[in-house]
C-alpha cells in the first residue's frame, strides 16, 4: 500500500512578498502549484471545501491594495505589516525587472528589503523566484550561500552582492546551513519547479506528482536541471546564422549528422562550415550533435517507457552501449538510473 500523505496542522501559510512591476508568472505559477497540491490533499482526506488542509497562500506588498505588474495586469495584495510573521511557514519573493543599468541598490524597495530581513527570522524557510534573489541578497539572506537567478541577471547579482555564490546554471538551488533552508530559482517558469520541490518536501512525491500532472509540467525537468536546452544554448551562442540548422539538427538526430552533411544543409563547404561554426558557437559541430542527442535521450527516458534499444536508435546513438557511454560521460549515471530518478512515475 503506498504511503499516505501527511497533513500539516494547521495548513502551511505561504506568503509571497511582492513589489511593484512584479513578474506575474513568478508568483501565479507557484500559487497555482500550491493550489493543485491543496486539491490533491483534500482529495486524499475526503474533503472538498472548508479550511485549507495543506496550504494557504497570501500575496502581500508594502502598501497593499492594487499592485501593477510587469505584464500590465494588476493584482490585489494585502499589506505586509498586517501579517503576523509568526504565522509564516514559507516566505517567497518573486522577481521584478532588474535592468543592466540599475546597479544602485535603491532600485529595490527599501521597505520590502527590511520587511524580508525581519520576517525571515521567523519563517521556516525562505525562497525567491527569478530576480527575487536580489531582494534576498539585499536582506543579507544569501551571504555565503549558493544562489540561482534568471540567467540574464546572474552576473549582475554576483557583481552587486559579491558575498553570494551565484550559479547561473541550475533551475533551482536549495542551500541549507545553520538549520535554515534558503531556496532560489531561475527565471519565470522555474518558480513552478521550485514550488513542486517545496511541495514534495512537505507532502511527499505522490502529491507533488499530482500537482505536476494537473499543471502538465515535468515533476523534475530532465537534462541535468540546467536552465538551457542544448539546442537553445547553441542558438543563443551562434546568433541567427545557424538558427535554422540547429532546428534541423534537433529534428534529425536519428540520421547522419557528419560535418559534411551539416555543411550541405548550411550550404557551405565542409571546411568553411567547420571553421565558421566553431567561431560562432564556441565548440565543434560534433560536440553540439553529441549534446543534443544525449538531451533527446534524456527526454525520451523521462517521458516514455521506450526500451533503451529504441531510444538509442531514435536519438542517433546506434547501439545501447553507445547510449550508456554517452550518458555516463554527460550525467555520471546510467540511462536507467536517470529514468528512475527523473521519470514521472
Catalytic sites, residue numbers: 130
Of the candidates 154, 141, 304, 166, the residue with the CA atom closest to the CA atom of residue 222: 304
How many angstroms separate the CA atoms of 90 and 49, rounded? Answer: 23
Give DSSP secondary structure letters for 94-121: ------TT--SGGGS-HHHHHHHHHHTT
Q: What are phi and psi of 125, to 5 degrees?
A: -150, 160
Give DSSP secondary structure letters for 33-100: HHHHHHHHHHHHHT--SSS-SSEEEEEEESS-EEEEBTTS-EEEEEEGGGS-GGG-SEEEE------T
DSSP label at 170?
A: B
Of the candidates 171, 209, 189, the residue with the CA atom closest to the CA atom of residue 36: 209
Amino acid at each position: 500500500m503506498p504511503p499516505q500523505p501527511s497533513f500539516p496542522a494547521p495548513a502551511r501559510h505561504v506568503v509571497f512578498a511582492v513589489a511593484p512591476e512584479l513578474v506575474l508568472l513568478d508568483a501565479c505559477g507557484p500559487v497555482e502549484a500550491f493550489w493543485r497540491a491543496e486539491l490533491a490533499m483534500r482529495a486524499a482526506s475526503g474533503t472538498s471545501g472548508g479550511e485549507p488542509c495543506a496550504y494557504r497562500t497570501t500575496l502581500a506588498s508594502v502598501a497593499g491594495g492594487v499592485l501593477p505588474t510587469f505584464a500590465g495586469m494588476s493584482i490585489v495584495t494585502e499589506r505586509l505589516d498586517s501579517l503576523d510573521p509568526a504565522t509564516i511557514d514559507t516566505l517567497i519573493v518573486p522577481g521584478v525587472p532588474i535592468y543592466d543599468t540599475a546597479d544602485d541598490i535603491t532600485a529595490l524597495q527599501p521597505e520590502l528589503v527590511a520587511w524580508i530581513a525581519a520576517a525571515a527570522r521567523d519563517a521556516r524557510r525562505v525562497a525567491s523566484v527569478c530576480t527575487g534573489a536580489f531582494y534576498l541578497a539585499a536582506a543579507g539572506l544569501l551571504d555565503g550561500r549558493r544562489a540561482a537567478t534568471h540567467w540574464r541577471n546572474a552576473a549582475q547579482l554576483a557583481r552587486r552582492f559579491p558575498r553570494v555564490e551565484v550559479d547561473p546554471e541550475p533551475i533551482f538551488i536549495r542551500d541549507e546551513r545553520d538549520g535554515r533552508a534558503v531556496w532560489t530559482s531561475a527565471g519565470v517558469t522555474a518558480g513552478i519547479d521550485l514550488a513542486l520541490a517545496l511541495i514534495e518536501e512537505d507532502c511527499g512525491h505522490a502529491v507533488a506528482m499530482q500537482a505536476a500532472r494537473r499543471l502538465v509540467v515535468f515533476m523534475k525537468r530532465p537534462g541535468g536541471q540546467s536552465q538551457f536546452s542544448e539546442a537553445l544554448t547553441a542558438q543563443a551562442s551562434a546568433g541567427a546564422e545557424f538558427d535554422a540548422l540547429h532546428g534541423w539538427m534537433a529534428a534529425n538526430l536519428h540520421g547522419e549528422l557528419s560535418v559534411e552533411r551539416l555543411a550541405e544543409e548550411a550550404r557551405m563547404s565542409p571546411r568553411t562550415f567547420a571553421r565558421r561554426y566553431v567561431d560562432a558557437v564556441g565548440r565543434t559541430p560534433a560536440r553540439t550533435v553529441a549534446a543534443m542527442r544525449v538531451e533527446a535521450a534524456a527526454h525520451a527516458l523521462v517521458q516514455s517507457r521506450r526500451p533503451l534499444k529504441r531510444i538509442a536508435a531514435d536519438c542517433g546513438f546506434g547501439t545501447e552501449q553507445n547510449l550508456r557511454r554517452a550518458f555516463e560521460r554527460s550525467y555520471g549515471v546510467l540511462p536507467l538510473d536517470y529514468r528512475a530518478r527523473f521519470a514521472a512515475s
